Structure 1
Amino acid sequence: MSDAQTDPRLAVAERAARAGSEVAAEGFRDDIDVEIKSGKTDVVTEADRAAQRRVIEVIREEYPDDAVVGEEEDELKAVPEAGDVWIIDPIDGTNNFVRSTPLWTTSVAAVRDGEPVAAANVSPALGDTYLAGPDGTRRNGEPASVSDKTDPETFAVAPTIWWDFDRRDEYAAVCREIVERFADMRRLGCAQLTLGMVATGGLEGAITNVVPNPWDTVAGVYMIRQAGGVVTDLDGEPWRHDSEGLVASNGEAHEELLAAARNVP
């Protein structure tokens, strides 16, 4: 039996993420209008909004009174410290989506009293579904675990989240730290997929020094932890939805990843 069959919130998270991703996929590689939100690279489409509405519809069928934190429209933008909450990103990786690049996902996490209890990331253009619940993390139904590499010079590490144009010196510094300390660097342009790859062994780590949004991170952080990895803030304390910075690893050489993230002016 899969986690989604045995845990009701995980089952709903998966169902909602799949439903939202199907709506989003209808607009992928289509001639869809793109709107600018707060900056030249902060974009949104009607597919984002429609997918979020569909995700919420599915959640409300089972949990009509739970709070919802969502990237689009008028949903909450911060995670309440108490109670049951759903965190949604209808299309994480919208810049990829509008460029017809398949690196995007629909993300849904269930949180209780500030801590995740279930998560689903569905990436229809890649054919991948990531699920995490009390019994671990799965990709496409198969149990997943973080990489077992221990030597930092064999690690592939991703700079993740986004540094705006007034913080490009920090972006450059993070990239420099990665290429000087580790074997190679990846940047996917989709934080949830990046974290999912750490959870499933495709990357050994991911780092940022910025304060990330909960919809970009909570599901993927839970997946990493349930797959045996470690996620902290810049002080090395367990990462939370309101933490500054994010340092994710397979649990090996985490201090080296912390040092890279901290060594940013």
Structure 2
Amino acid sequence: MKNPKMLRLIAEHIAISVARFLRLYTPPATVVGEHGGDYIRVFDVEAERRAIKLVSELLPKSIVITEEQGYVELSKDPEYVVLIDPVDGSNNLAANIPWCSTSVAIAPASAHGLGDVVASAVASVFGEFVLSYSVSEGVLYNGEPLKRREKPSNIMVMYADKLEDYSIAYAYTLLYPATRVRILGSVCLDLALLVRGSIEAVIDVRGKLRNTDIAAVYPMLISTGCAVEMSPDASSIRLDKLVSGIMLYAAFSREYMDRVRKAIDYAKELRARIV
């Protein structure tokens, strides 16, 4: 098995290469299918094809888990499992909104859960930055050790499908009036902001997240001291197949996770009063 730094460099190369392709992509964002309620566009398919090709060249003894194809076996005797989200924020990219990313996570083939990722990278398609990680180096920003902010900006990001779930965001702003709520459209990139210490929290209660959405950024969150809670628990989210239905609560620190919990409890109180 290659050393963690080498695996981190490989993850970076794949993420940056695919992100660069997407940044320069010019054909129409034609919809060619649908998966899990999300549209599949031409650039999703092509970005995934390019990512898998790069893995086959750089880590041929691998299995690959992707958004569209699911399970791709490159070797009968794999050493690695590579989870790829070629385009997180497809709707933004289709609308030319500069907030989307490519992410790559690498773990041993024997890995059991998200905590077993040994190297990863998240590349912004438009922002010209890459966050990367290895178990031996920690988190890096554009190849240098990350200097995390000591205090986040008063911004919380939230995703929900049901109107009643947005009561959490409403309750949060009632409890903490200085905080503003945003919906940015790329959960992985939002979580990268949390890793950097730029925002307070990211909440996604839709139950639609996949392991490919969060595998690359999860070890970065843990390494930088963020508080993370998921359903199902991170240790039970398998890496050797595509897993969906994940809910996530992530915060700058334990202190800010306490804010999230208080907002959830207060939202329940508010809904009970209405009923």
TM-score range, shorter chain: 0.7 to 0.9
SS of the equivalent of 1:106 reads strand
CA contact (8 A) 1:93 1:190 kept: yes
TM-aligned CA deviation for residue 141 of structure 1: 2.6
Q: Could you say which residue in structure 1 is the equivalent of 2:163?
A: 169
Secondary structure of the structure 2 residue equivalent to 1:125: coil
Q: Deviations over 1:48-102 (max 9, x none)?
A: 11111111111112322322110023536xxxxx973111111100000000001
Instruction: Report the RMSD for the aligned CA atoms in angstroms.
Output: 2.9
The worse-fitting range, judged by mean Cα deviation, of 94-103 and 122-131 is 122-131
Alpha-carbon distance in structure 2 between the residues aligned to 1:171 and 1:36:
29
Secondary structure, in 3 states, of the residue corresponding to 2:193? helix
Give the partner amino acid of 2:125.
P
Instruction: Decide which of 167, 176, 181 is 2:175's aligned counterpart.
Output: 181
Q: Does 1:257 align with 2:254?
A: no
**Who is 1:204 aligned against?**
200
Preserved contact between residue 18 and residue 106 of structure 1 (Cα < 8 Å): yes
The superposition leaves residues 193-251 of structure 1 with CA deviations (integer Å, 9 ceiling, x where unpaired) of: 1000000011121112343211111212222122222212269x667636852111121
Q: Distance in 2 between matches of 1:72 and 1:249?
A: 29
Percent of paired sites with the same residue: 24
Q: How does 1:11-160 map to 2 (within 5 A)?
A: 11-27=9-25, 30-38=27-35, 42-75=38-71, 84-112=80-108, 113=111, 114=113, 115-134=116-135, 135-149=137-151, 155-160=154-159
Name the counterpart of 1:248: 250
CA–CA distance in structure 2, aligned partners of residues 181 and 148 of structure 1: 22
Query: Gaps spanning 5+ residues in structure 1: where?
Result: 77-81
Which amino acid is 1:11 matched to? L
Q: Does the Cα contact within 8 Å between 2:105 and 2:216 map onto a contact in 1? A: yes
Matched residue type, 1:85: V
Q: What is the SS of the residue equivalent to 1:7? A: helix
CA distance in 1, matches of 2:147, 2:262: 24
Q: Distance in 1 between matches of 2:21 and 2:138?
A: 28
* Distance in 2 separating the partners of 1:244 and 1:108: 18
Structure 2 equivalent of residue 9 of structure 1: 7
Tell me the equivalent position of 2:210.
Answer: 213
Q: Structure 2 CA distance, aligned partners of 1:74 and 1:245?
A: 20
Q: Using a 3 Å threshold, how does the CA distance of structure 1 residues 110 and 261 change in structure 2: closer, same or farther?
A: farther
What is the aligned residue count? 245
Given that 2:200 and 2:256 are in contact with CA atoms closer than 8 Å, whether structure 1 keeps it comes out as: no
Indicate the SS of the match to 2:150.
coil
TM-score by length of 2: 0.77
Q: Which has the larger radius of gyration?
A: 2
